[in-house]
Chain A
């Protein structure tokens, strides 16, 4: 399992579930960013990283991935509380977007200060904007995204299994949803599979305090709520991603799961780098 390379014939699928509840307005300690702003910024960086990975010729992106972002909480487009695709601009409303389309349709290209001293500011594309409001309908997010992931897996039976990464900071507020609680919805999600294995479902819990954060733990021992539940519904890290973690200097133990708890922005970046990196070939 999880041995398939990503190629244009057998592309991959990465789906992000982005918490857009009211609590995402909290500000990270030692930062001027809210959780919503930090999560959106990191997501945009990861999408750009995926584009770099998939760059065949300069200025072009190969169709190595289909990407989806589903926001849950406030719905900027439809209004009210619920789940909806989080892309803006021309991609608004689209559940899954091919990388070439993603490359060509950012909401904006903005200048950000460079991390290198003295270097000119970087121009980075933006696909997701930070918003927050309402509660945390996480079960509904899994249900909505699961339908699209299922369709994708049916259309790509030989691909690396879809990767779903849930970024949240709060307790689920809609469990049980349509008769199933969060663990049951997660089980339904990982029942989707390709010939290379079941769907990978990773969860990262953000905390504005950013204290005692853990990445890829092998046990939920000592974690406060909702850590144990999120740990249980998270998939085991497959060998390629253990290798990813190893290459970034993150120490993982056997049995580590795709789970982060009390994460700050740095940990979120590392988590997404490990969780979205899959070898590609032509």
Chain B
């Protein structure tokens, strides 16, 4: 049994709890067997005592076969309680069955058809968790009571087209590897930065030597303004940088 299954159970009534109707039927069967036995003894000229004993025994066996044996589960031995698998739940205590109408062959046990599979379709439902108590205070998911029939419910198979639940957060989905580029995807070569550091110098104010400069593209090159001494000058790429004099006293900050 799957540990995620849940069992419901409905027991058959005990023989001693049969109603008056069953008792009448039993007596009728025994009487019929007795009449048949006496008739057979008359025909074959045998002992009436033996015929009565055989008839009563045969009638009793017929009564048992009709009203008692068909209701037992196949794995249970006659006269002893069935050893049932209740998973992690403890074995239930037998309770006296209520005085209900016993099931007959024409009446399938209700629990076999009363639990729709859709009732377990909720993704958050834990099949092993006890269900809320019924209004009468009996927990449906607890240990099966003695008056229930065992059925096993399996988890629903995944719905087609839903490989993963729809509520997967984006940050979990984003963990996947990057998609492969399409065949027609075009790439631009990355800028060549191999000579970047070699061709780069640190700009410094020629007037005071400060490094905090404001730079804008001008008409004749780049317009610089020193944020420390407000000095301005223009520089064209390819021309030498103006000579720098480090004069902190000229700075205003």
Residue numbers of A with Cβ under 8 A of B are: 2-5, 7, 10, 146-147, 150-151, 153, 157-158, 188-189, 191-198, 239-240, 242-243, 246, 248-251, 254, 266, 279, 281
Contact of A146 among B171, B182, B196 (CB under 8 A): B171
* A193 in contact with B188 (CB, 8 Å): no
Contact of B185 among A10, A151, A249 (CB under 8 A): A10
Q: Hey, what's the 0/1 contact readout for B170-191 against A, CB within 8 Å counting as 1?
A: 1101110011111001111111
Q: List 27 A-B contacts (CB under 8 A).
A: A3-B188, A3-B190, A4-B185, A4-B187, A5-B187, A5-B188, A7-B186, A146-B171, A146-B174, A150-B170, A150-B174, A153-B174, A157-B178, A157-B179, A158-B181, A158-B182, A188-B170, A188-B171, A189-B171, A192-B170, A192-B174, A194-B178, A195-B180, A195-B182, A239-B191, A242-B196, A281-B188
- Give me the 9 closest cross-chain CB pairs, A-B, nearest first: A188-B171, A249-B215, A157-B179, A243-B191, A150-B170, A195-B181, A191-B174, A158-B185, A3-B187
| Contacting residues, chain B, for A10 (C-beta < 8 A) | 185
Q: Does B202 contact A (CB under 8 A)?
A: yes
* B178 in contact with A239 (CB, 8 Å): no
* B170 in contact with A239 (CB, 8 Å): no
* A242 in contact with B191 (CB, 8 Å): yes
Give bound CA distance, A182 to B52, whole Å.
Answer: 94
CB distance from A227 to the nearest CB of B (A): 17
* B197 in contact with A254 (CB, 8 Å): yes
Q: In the complex, given contacts A248-B217, A251-B203, what are 5 additional A-B residue pairs having Cβ atoms less than 8 angstroms apart?
A: A158-B179, A195-B179, A195-B182, A196-B187, A243-B193
* B179 in contact with A4 (CB, 8 Å): no
Q: Hey, what's the 0/1 contact readout for B145-189 against A, CB within 8 Å counting as 1?
A: 000000000000000000000000011011100111110011111
| Contacting residues, chain A, for B197 (C-beta < 8 A) | 254
**Interface range on chain B (Cβ under 8 Å from partner):** 20 to 34
Q: Does B200 contact A (CB under 8 A)?
A: yes
CB distance from A215 to the nearest CB of B (A): 11
| Contacting residues, chain B, for A7 (C-beta < 8 A) | 186
Decide: A250 near B215, CB < 8 A? Known: A195-B181, A242-B193: yes
Residue numbers of B with Cβ under 8 A of A are: 170-171, 173-175, 178-182, 185-191, 193, 196-197, 200, 202-203, 214-215, 217, 222
Decide: A194 near B179, CB < 8 A? Known: A239-B190, A239-B191: yes
Give bound CA distance, A197 to B196, whole Å.
Answer: 23
CB distance from B129 to the nearest CB of A (A): 24
Interface centre among A192, A246, A249, A254 (most CB of B within 10 A): A249
Give bound CA distance, A55 to B183, whole Å.
Answer: 28
CB distance from B13 to the nearest CB of A (A): 55
- Nearest B-chain residue to A243, judged by Cβ: B191
Give bound CA distance, A246 to B201, whole Å.
Answer: 11
* B178 in contact with A197 (CB, 8 Å): yes
* A188 in contact with B190 (CB, 8 Å): no
Give bound CA distance, A188 to B222, whole Å.
Answer: 40
Give bound CA distance, A106 to B174, whole Å.
Answer: 33
| Contacting residues, chain B, for A195 (C-beta < 8 A) | 178-182, 185
CB distance from A238 to the nearest CB of B (A): 8
| Contacting residues, chain B, for A3 (C-beta < 8 A) | 187-190
* A249 in contact with B196 (CB, 8 Å): no
* A147 in contact with B170 (CB, 8 Å): yes
Give bound CA distance, A191 to B176, whole Å.
Answer: 8
* B174 in contact with A157 (CB, 8 Å): no
- Nearest B-chain residue to A240, judged by Cβ: B191
CB distance from B33 to the nearest CB of A (A): 77
CB distance from A7 to the nearest CB of B (A): 8
- Nearest B-chain residue to A187, judged by Cβ: B171
| Contacting residues, chain A, for B175 (C-beta < 8 A) | 191
| Contacting residues, chain A, for B170 (C-beta < 8 A) | 146-147, 150-151, 188, 192
CB distance from A229 to the nearest CB of B (A): 19
Contact of B196 among A5, A191, A246 (CB under 8 A): A246
| Contacting residues, chain B, for A150 (C-beta < 8 A) | 170-171, 173-174
* B182 in contact with A157 (CB, 8 Å): yes
Give bound CA distance, A237 to B43, whole Å.
Answer: 114
Give bound CA distance, A234 to B252, whole Å.
Answer: 33
- Nearest B-chain residue to A239, judged by Cβ: B190
- Nearest B-chain residue to A150, judged by Cβ: B170
Interface centre among B171, B173, B178, B193 (most CB of A within 10 A): B171
| Contacting residues, chain A, for B200 (C-beta < 8 A) | 246, 251
| Contacting residues, chain A, for B217 (C-beta < 8 A) | 248-249
Give bound CA distance, A251 to B202, whole Å.
Answer: 7
Contact of B186 among A5, A157, A188 (CB under 8 A): A5
Give bound CA distance, A188 to B173, whole Å.
Answer: 10
CB distance from B5 to the nearest CB of A (A): 33
Give bound CA distance, A148 to B65, whole Å.
Answer: 71
| Contacting residues, chain A, for B171 (C-beta < 8 A) | 146, 150, 188-189, 191
